[in-house]
Amino acid sequence: MKINAKWVTFPGEASAAAFTFKKSFKTNKIIKKATATASALGIYALYIDGARVGKGVLTPGWTSYNNRIQYQTYDITDLLKDGSSIELGLGQGWAAGYIGHVNTNHCYTDKASVIGQIEVVYEDGTKETIATDETWDVYTSRVLSSEIYHGETVDLTAPIKCIGKAQASAVKGKLIPQVGEWITEQERLAPVELIKAPNGETVIDFGQNMTGYVEIKIKAPKGSRIVFDGAEVLDKDGNFYNKNYRTAKNLMTYVTSGNDDIFKPTYSFQGFRYIRLIEFPFDTVDLSCFTAVAVNSELRRTGRFNCGNAKINQLYHNIIWGQKSNYLDVPTDCPQRDERLGWTGDAQVFCRTGAINFDVEKFFEKWLGDMALEQRADGAVFGTVPDCMPTHPTRISAAWGDAATIVPWQMYLAYGNKKNLKKSFPMMKKWVEYMHKTGHEEYLWLTARHYGDWLAMDAGGDSYVGATSNDLIGSAFFAYSTELVIKAGEILGENVDYYKELYKNVVKRFREYFMENGLPKDIDFPFTELRDGRVSTSGAADVVRKGMTQTAIVLILHFGLCTEEERPGLIAKLAELIDRYDGLMTTGFVGTPYILHALSDNGRADLAYKLLFEERNPSWLYSVTHGATTMWEHWNSLKEDGSFWSTSMNSFNHYAYGAVYDWIFGVAAGIKPVEEAPAYKKVAIAPIPCKELGFIDASIESRNGYVRSAWYYKDDVVYYEIEIPAGVTATFTLPSGKTYELAGGNYHFAE
Ligand code: BGC
């Protein structure tokens, strides 16, 4: 649709309040079709004659606003009367409110703007357009303030007054039709408990950590106040705890009209499991007034899983809710504190799992499009997309920027969309070239500031950064990203000779610099000087340097930076390092997603399972046994003694470690897409059963149909049930190595 409307803003100063832009119009002829189109640099809500239109919330979503802004289109044929009014509510949202914890506030604009039009086609063939311009009236609204981080104030007694005409505004970003998915209201959860906390506070528990908001239905005397904030956890005394939200207030303030009221925010959302009633009009709290509404990107569920271990099933549940909570238009790190940002590292770590659980093709098509637009001319990819922290001291980091190669590649494996791969290909190449050019020493990526093996345990449990040398991580990912460019290029029919040569050299230099006798060098790597003479530092400069760590070996094995002959030595060393750490992992964001793969690919599925079943800290089941309903940011966000990790970095809804599901699905259940025929057109099924797990039943509703792998133990025999959709071929491999070529159908095996 061609948009003839003008971008407009409200008269007067910048404000955290929401405003309503209104136009009344008459349609005197019979309407054949009427379509509304709207967008905002901010968040808009469309109303026709006072009724909200469309299923979307938090529209137009979050893109790289300086480059492009999505618009949504609505069929309103049945909504228009002879005389109707169109209203566009406008709140600050991501564009004009506080966003990004480093530079905070007004990342894109001081004042929100809105744009919209209605196009009416009459039965007689004539057309009419009603479009935003300076003739529209602007009214105050009942939303007196709204911030993504800080919550919303709605006063139903507030007078509504016209404050003048809309003013034309200049908006840089290009309008584009919606690329991503709608953000919608999804599950509705009733409270599970009303808690009178030991400190006297009134707390409501919804039983599930989530992203969205609380809807309140209430009739109370006019002017009554309902004020509450959110929390993910209670402290060890059972009191409401939300210090980990940092500066994000998450405060909802509602003032009643005296009639039957329904409250929920229009321009904000929270991450929460509990709410604390700070003000409430009645002494008795009627729980039936409260409903927690999950708000997430509307993604089709594709994956299903069940197994014989209740704790692993809970882990899976936590992974699903971690994904739902953080796939809200942008893949975010967390939904509650003053971040909620599209951290690239977290996104790449989890995206393979994300694409098993849900259909995320469009979701990532949008995000990767923004990433490509924000990629710097020298190829740098920033830590967050959309980029809203230009002053962050570590803007570019290995394993974060590599989202530029890893995400497009994983999306290709999951959905087989060559067009999308092709769109990302220039970005993939540029990122590799960035590493090549900034590496300090050719073919290595040395001396840069990185996030390192974020939150790993081997530099001391309280360090933000693990012990693995950043130079080693940077150079390993340089090799891996180069390999992905080669694979993608070959699929796209591009000449990749240059990258093949580059890859050979990067691997060669990696091995010379970081390895000896087939193992990582067991030394502390010195900090080399940056080109400008400064010494490279990161958050924990004094600890980020070791060559011999679990993460280092995991990267070498998983990225294939070793020879085949070196694998047994490496895997033995990895097992030894695990053993040395009392049988536990020490890996963080970088090593954890691959550690189980590195073990099972090299003959140690037994040890992989042992780590999976582990319940001590650090482990996946530690959080499960401590009552988690989503994934935690730290292995021990809640410590053994009941205290919390530091308040500055302690989310209970961080999906990154949930990446373990790609091992459970791909190795334990054994379902993997294959590169030659992606999107599960051809599948490699090679389950690795485990008696302690009892049974597994995993499936995916792929683009090529329903693929299922299940196994169960009966005495010492394992029975397998495999389902392959028509038109798909599969290679099925039993643990004994026996292989079968399968076509569409249901199969049973026993061994
Ligand atoms: C985020 C992480 C992110 C990191 C960068 C944090 O504040 O929450 O998940 O990847 O910064 O190291």
> Which ligand 1 atom lies nearest to the CA of residue 654?
9
Question: Residues of the chain with pLDDT > 90: what percent?
Answer: 87
Calculate how far, in angstroms, residue 409's C-alpha sits from the geometric centre of ligand 1: 22
Chain position carrying tokens 């637009």: 373
Task: Give the range among 38-52, 288-302, 535-549, 607-621 with minimum mean pLDDT.
Answer: 535-549
Calculate how far, in angstroms, residue 332's C-alpha sits from the geometric centre of ligand 1: 10
State the distance between the two ends of the chain, measured CA to CA, in whole angstroms: 60
Nearest CA to 365 out of 291, 443, 446, 421 is that of 421
Q: What is the pLDDT of residues 595-652, one digit of tens each?
A: 999 999 999 999 999 999 999 999 999 999 999 999 999 999 999 999 998 888 899 9
Calculate how far, in angstroms, residue 635's C-alpha sits from the geometric centre of ligand 1: 14
Among protein residues, the one with the nearest Cα to ligand 1's atom 11 is 343
> Which ligand 1 atom lies nearest to the CA of residue 334?
8
Looking at the DSSP bridge assignments, the partners of residue 460 are none
H/E element holding 25? strand 19-26
Task: Give the range among 27-36, 85-94, 270-279 with minimum mean pLDDT.
Answer: 27-36
Nearest CA to 660 out of 734, 712, 740, 597 is that of 597
Phi, psi of 86 (to 5 degrees): -110, 135
* pLDDT in the model for residue 438: 86
Calculate how far, in angstroms, residue 661's C-alpha sits from the geometric centre of ligand 1: 21
Is it the case that residue 682 has pLDDT exceeding 50? Answer: yes
* pLDDT in the model for residue 103: 57
> Which ligand 1 atom lies nearest to the CA of residue 343?
10
Is it the case that residue 135 has pLDDT exceeding 70? Answer: yes
Secondary structure percentages of the chain, helix, strand, coil, to 5: 25, 30, 45
Calculate how far, in angstroms, residue 84's C-alpha sits from the geometric centre of ligand 1: 48
Nearest CA to 214 out of 225, 228, 202, 196 is that of 228
Calculate how far, in angstroms, residue 465's C-alpha sits from the geometric centre of ligand 1: 11
Nearest CA to 18 out of 85, 104, 96 is that of 96
Among protein residues, the one with the nearest Cα to ligand 1's atom 3 is 343
* More confidently predicted of 446 and 528: 446
Is it the case that residue 462 has pLDDT exceeding 80? Answer: no
* pLDDT in the model for residue 532: 41
Calculate how far, in angstroms, residue 343's C-alpha sits from the geometric centre of ligand 1: 6
* pLDDT in the model for residue 239: 98
Top mutation candidate among 338, 340, 341, 451 for ligand 1, by most atoms within 8 Å of CB: 451
Rounded Cα distance between 395 and 402, Å, is 13
Top mutation candidate among 101, 103, 333 for ligand 1, by most atoms within 8 Å of CB: 333
Rounded Cα distance between 179 and 136, Å, is 29
Calculate how far, in angstroms, residue 604's C-alpha sits from the geometric centre of ligand 1: 31
Is it the case that residue 537 has pLDDT exceeding 50? Answer: no
Across the chain, what does the average pLDDT equal?
Answer: 94
Which DSSP string do the residues of 539-589 spell out, in sequence order?
TTTTTTTBSSSHHHHHHHHHTT-S-GGGHHHHHHHHHHHHHHTTT-----T
Query: Quick check: helix, strand or coil at residue 283?
Result: coil
H/E element holding 509? helix 497-514
Q: Which two tokens stand for residue 144?
A: 């007196």
Is it the case that residue 205 has pLDDT exceeding 90? Answer: yes
What would the mean pLDDT of 222-235 be, rounded to a whole number? 98
Is it the case that residue 530 has pLDDT exceeding 50? Answer: no
Calculate how far, in angstroms, residue 177's C-alpha sits from the geometric centre of ligand 1: 30
Q: What is the pLDDT of residues 229-257, one digit of tens each?
A: 999 999 999 999 999 999 999 999 999 99
Among protein residues, the one with the nearest Cα to ligand 1's atom 12 is 451
Residue 394 banded pLDDT, cuts 50, 70, 90: confident
Confirm if 252 and 227 have CB atoms less than 8 A apart. Answer: yes
What residues contact 158, with CB distance under 8 A and at least 6 apart? 140, 142, 144, 255
Among protein residues, the one with the nearest Cα to ligand 1's atom 5 is 451
Which DSSP string do the residues of 164-186 spell out, in sequence order?
EE-EE----SEEEE--SPPEEEE
Q: What is the pLDDT of residues 466-497, one digit of tens each?
A: 889 989 999 999 999 999 999 999 999 999 99
Pocket of ligand 1 (CB under 6 A): 333-334, 339, 343, 345-346, 451, 454, 654
Q: State the pTM of this model.
A: 0.96
What residues contact 284, with CB distance under 8 A and at least 6 apart? none
Top mutation candidate among 149, 454, 634, 652 for ligand 1, by most atoms within 8 Å of CB: 454
> Which ligand 1 atom lies nearest to the CA of residue 454?
12
Burial class (CB within 10 angstroms; exposed 0-12, middle 13-18, buried 19+) of 187: middle
Q: For residue 579, give Cα distances in angstroms to 576, 582, 621.
A: 5, 5, 19
Q: Which two tokens stand for residue 646?
A: 């530091």
Calculate how far, in angstroms, residue 335's C-alpha sits from the geometric centre of ligand 1: 12
Is it the case that residue 201 has pLDDT exceeding 50? Answer: yes
Calculate how far, in angstroms, residue 333's C-alpha sits from the geometric centre of ligand 1: 7
* pLDDT in the model for residue 1: 58
What would the mean pLDDT of 547-571 be, rounded to a whole number? 98
Calculate how far, in angstroms, residue 400's C-alpha sits from the geometric centre of ligand 1: 10
Q: What is the pLDDT of residues 359-385, one digit of tens each?
A: 999 999 999 999 999 999 999 999 999
What residues contact 607, with CB distance under 8 A and at least 6 apart? 575, 578, 599
Q: Which two tokens stand for residue 416?
A: 């087989």
> Which ligand 1 atom lies nearest to the CA of residue 344?
10
Calculate how far, in angstroms, residue 653's C-alpha sits from the geometric centre of ligand 1: 12
Phi, psi of 592 (to 5 degrees): -60, -40
Task: Give the range among 107-121, 131-145, 443-457 with minimum mean pLDDT.
Answer: 443-457
> Which ligand 1 atom lies nearest to the CA of residue 400?
10
Q: What is the pLDDT of residues 705-743, one digit of tens each?
A: 999 999 999 999 999 999 999 999 999 999 999 999 999
> Which ligand 1 atom lies nearest to the CA of residue 633?
9
Among protein residues, the one with the nearest Cα to ligand 1's atom 8 is 333
* pLDDT in the model for residue 536: 44
* pLDDT in the model for residue 105: 66
Which DSSP string do the residues of 371-436 spell out, in sequence order?
HHHHS-TT----SBSS---TT-S----TTTTTHHHHHHHHHHHHH--HHHHHHHHHHHHHHHHHHH
Rounded Cα distance between 197 and 234, Å, is 9
Nearest CA to 58 out of 111, 19, 100, 94 is that of 94
Top mutation candidate among 326, 332, 343 for ligand 1, by most atoms within 8 Å of CB: 343
Calculate how far, in angstroms, residue 645's C-alpha sits from the geometric centre of ligand 1: 15
Sign of torsion over alpha carbons 421, 427, 429, 432: negative
Calculate how far, in angstroms, residue 595's C-alpha sits from the geometric centre of ligand 1: 20
Q: What is the pLDDT of residues 401-437, one digit of tens each?
A: 999 999 999 999 999 999 999 999 999 999 999 999 9
User: β-pairing, 68-75 with 174-177?
Assistant: parallel
* pLDDT in the model for residue 100: 84
Is it the case that residue 505 has pLDDT exceeding 60? Answer: yes
Among protein residues, the one with the nearest Cα to ligand 1's atom 9 is 333
Tell me the one-letter amino acid at 659: A
* pLDDT in the model for residue 225: 98
Among protein residues, the one with the nearest Cα to ligand 1's atom 1 is 333
Top mutation candidate among 103, 346, 449 for ligand 1, by most atoms within 8 Å of CB: 346
* pLDDT in the model for residue 376: 96
> Which ligand 1 atom lies nearest to the CA of residue 464?
12
Is it the case that residue 392 has pLDDT exceeding 90? Answer: no
Phi, psi of 190 (to 5 degrees): -80, 155
> Which ligand 1 atom lies nearest to the CA of residue 101?
7
Rounded Cα distance between 91 and 144, Å, is 10
What would the mean pLDDT of 143-166 be, rounded to a whole number? 97
> Which ligand 1 atom lies nearest to the CA of residue 589?
10
Is it the case that residue 149 has pLDDT exceeding 60? Answer: yes
Calculate how far, in angstroms, residue 469's C-alpha sits from the geometric centre of ligand 1: 18
Calculate how far, in angstroms, residue 633's C-alpha sits from the geometric centre of ligand 1: 9
Q: Which two tokens stand for residue 746?
A: 């249901």
Q: Which two tokens stand for residue 441?
A: 């020493």
* pLDDT in the model for residue 102: 67
* pLDDT in the model for residue 535: 44
What Rg do the C-alpha atoms of the chain give, in angstroms?
27
